[in-house]
Amino acid sequence: MRIVIAGGHGQIARRLERLLSAGGHEVAGIIRKREQGDDLREAGAEPVLMDLESASVEEVAAVLQGADAAVFAAGAGPGSGAERKGTVDRGAAMLFADAAERAHVRRHIVVSTMGADARHEGDEVFDVYLRAKGEADDYVRGKSGLDWTILRPGTLTNDAGKGLVRLEASTGRGSIPRDDVAAVLAEMTETPATAGLTLELVSGSVPVTVAVKDIAGN
């Protein structure tokens, strides 16, 4: 398969690129900075230089043309302010979904966050972030032209992945290594039966492949 990842230089994205390329897939990662390209090549991915905060739907759709799946893993990052939560975590996610629909790339996976809610209240930056992610998730779920899956991991860590997770509609609070998030995403790209599901993800006791297949069968 050809898989295009938005936010291609992110920590989860680079782990995912390694897994997908090792699995024989053709992977492209959208990046904002040219100097990030070598990191993607090292991970086995083709770097595509594009700023999703200023790109048009047509420009993004051209990148997605011919892809079998699209993964939105972009984020403004923990050091960003409220404005970029709106332009990246909300705006870029919506743009990417519009572009995928225009390019007829049905399989669409979004890396969201636990607690994302368009009705979340509060004025702190993290409150704005949860609202932005929730609004983006709602927008993607309204896209009839996409076979979407929304993945909402718990607190992300850089611990070594154990390959054991809990993947459910509601897991309760918890943490999860980025390694294991990437492993779940890789499995989901090959499991179209997870389409139409919004899922929470934390560390658990079920092997990744089993967890994804089990939830796809529900």
Active site residues: 129
Distances in Å between the Cα of 135 and the Cα atoms of 68, 75, 140, 149, 197 are: 25, 14, 9, 15, 16
Phi/psi class of residue 122: alpha, beta or left (left: φ > 0; alpha: ψ in -120 to 50)? left
* CA–CA separation, 156 and 169 (whole Å): 18
Residue 68 DSSP SS3: coil
* CA–CA separation, 199 and 82 (whole Å): 25
* CA–CA separation, 129 and 50 (whole Å): 23
| Among 202, 196, 199, residue whose Cα is nearest residue 181 | 202
Q: List all residues 6 or more positions away from 108 whose beta carbon is below 8 Å from its beta carbon.
A: 69, 70, 72, 97, 100, 140, 143, 146, 147, 148, 149
* CA–CA separation, 123 and 119 (whole Å): 12
